[in-house]
Amino acid sequence: MRGRWTGLGSVVLGALLLAMACGPRASTGGSAPAPAAAPPATAPAAAAPTAEAAAGAGFDERAVANFYRGKTIRIIVGFAPGGGFDTYGRLIAKYLPKYVPGRPTVIVENVPGAASMVAANQVYKTMPKDGTVIASFNENLVLLYAQGKEGIEYDPRRYQWLGSMVNSPSACAVRTDAGINSIEEVMAGKQLVVASEGPGTTTYDVPVALQHALGANIKLVPGYDGTSRMRLAIDSREADSGCWTWDSMSVTARQWFESTPPVAKVLVVMGSRTPDHPWLQGVPAAENLAPTQEGRQLLALVNGPSQMSKPYAVAPEVPRDRVEALRQALAAVTNDPEFLAEAEKAKLDVVPLTGAEVEEKVRQILDSPPAVVAKLKEILK
C-alpha cells in the first residue's frame, strides 16, 4: 500500500487554502443549465461551485446529521458491475456511513453508457442535488470537456470534487499467446488488437495516443461497456490486448499475471516512470519511447487524468456544508484501518487526493497548451 491521507488535517488545510485562493462568487441557485458546447481549453475558467460558505472546512454537524438521518446516499458508478470503478465504489459504500453525520445508508447504482458520460451528465443535470447523489465517473471526461466534445452537459470546474482514490498510470497488457513480446515490436509494425470502451476513456484514448506518439500499429475494437467486458473479450480471444489504469488492472485482471504460465503480460505503461511492481519489471514507460517533444506532451496530457483516478464528485448546487461533510467522510474512510486492511486484502491501491487537490488537477488539465489539446482532439475524432 502506498501513500495515504494521514488524517483529516490535510482536508481542513486544503479547504482553507482553497477558500483563500477563490474570491467571492455568485451562487448559481437551482439546476445548472447544460452548456451548448464545452468551451475550448483557452476559454476563461468557469465559475467554481456555489460556495459563499467556502470559509473553511467547518460545517454545522447537527444540521448535516438531521438532513442525512434516515436517508440513502447513492454512488452513481458510470460503468458496469465488476470493473475497477465499481469495485472501489462498493468498498467505499461499505464504510462511508460510519463517517457521514446522521449515518445514512450508502448504496452503489451502476449507470453505464458513453464511457460514463451518461452518469456524469445525469448527476450534473437531473439527479437530486441535495447531497444524496455522488458521481463516480471516468476521470478522462475532463479531457473530453477540454476538447469540446458533443454530448457533454457538465462543467468539470463546477462539479464539487470530494476526492479521488488512486494516482496510477494506465498500462497495456497483451495475451502471452498473441505473438507480441514487446511494445517495440508493435512500433515496428506488428499489429496489436486492443479492446476498448469509447472515446473519453483510458481504454480508448491511451492506445490512440500510443498510435500517434509512438507510431504503434494498434487496431482498436471499441464498444465494450466496462473493463470487465473487455477482460472477457480478451479471455475469449476477441482481442489481444487492453489498456486501463494499472491499479484496476492489477486487481481485476490479476489472474492473468498470477497464473502459471501467465495469461498476459504488460507491454507499456503511461508516464515517464515505471511503477515498482513485480509484474512491471522491465516494462518501458511510454513517454521515454516517444521520438518527439510533441509526442511526449501528447502522452503526458493523456496521462494527466490518471493522477486523479477514481474521483468522486457532487453537483454544483449541493449545499457547501454537506459537501464538506462528505469530503471529510471520504478522507476518514481512506484513513480507516479496517477499510485499508480490506483494500489491501483485495489488492486495491489507495493513494488518495483531497477534493481541493482534485480541483487543482482539473484546472491543470483544462489549462494545458492549446496546441497539444488541439492535437489530441484531432486524433480522437
Q: What percent of the chain has pLDDT over 70?
A: 85
pLDDT of res. 57: 60
User: Over the chain, what is the mean pLDDT?
Assistant: 86
Task: Please tell me the CATH superfamily of domain 170-303, with its number.
Answer: Periplasmic binding protein-like II (3.40.190.10)
Could you read off the pLDDT of 304-356 as tens digits, one per residue? 998 899 999 999 999 999 999 999 999 999 999 999 999 999 888 899 999 99
Task: Give the pTM.
Answer: 0.70
Rounded alpha-carbon distances, angstroms, from residue 333 to 90, 329, 348:
12, 6, 14
Per-residue pLDDT at 357 exceeds 60: yes
Question: What pLDDT, on the 0 to 100 scale, is given for residue 29?
Answer: 34
Evaluate if residue 128 carries a pLDDT over 90: yes
Residue 267 has which C-alpha cell? 507491454
Q: Is pLDDT at 54 greater than 90 in this prediction?
A: no
Least confident of 74-78, 79-83, 154-158, 209-213: 79-83
CB atoms within 10 A of CB 20: 10
| Counts of helices then strands in the chain (DSSP H, E) | 15, 11
Fold of the domain built from segment(s) 48-166+308-369: D-Maltodextrin-Binding Protein; domain 2 (3.40.190)
Mean pLDDT along residues 8-12: 38
Q: Which amino acid is at 296?
A: R
- The more confidently predicted of residues 288 and 1 is 288
- How many angstroms separate the CA atoms of 102 and 233, rounded? 43
Classify residue 336 as exposed, middle or buried by CB count within 10 Å of its CB (0-12, 13-18, 19+): middle
> Which part of the chain has CATH 3.40.190.10?
170-303
pLDDT higher than threshold 50 for residue 80:
yes
Q: Distance between CA 70 and CA 67 in Å, rounded?
A: 8
DSSP per residue, 241-279: EEEEEHHHHHHHTHHHHHSSS-SEEEEEESSSS----GG
Which amino acid appears at position 311 of this protein? P
Give the mean model confidence (pLDDT) for residues 14-29.
36
Q: What is the CA radius of gyration of the chain?
A: 20
What's the CA gap between 192 and 103, in Å, rounded? 49
> In the chain, which residues fall in CATH 3.40.190.150?
48-166+308-369
For the cut 90, the answer to whether the pLDDT of residue 218 exceeds it is yes
Neighbours of 23 (CB within 10 A): 8
> What share of the chain in percent tops pLDDT 90?
73
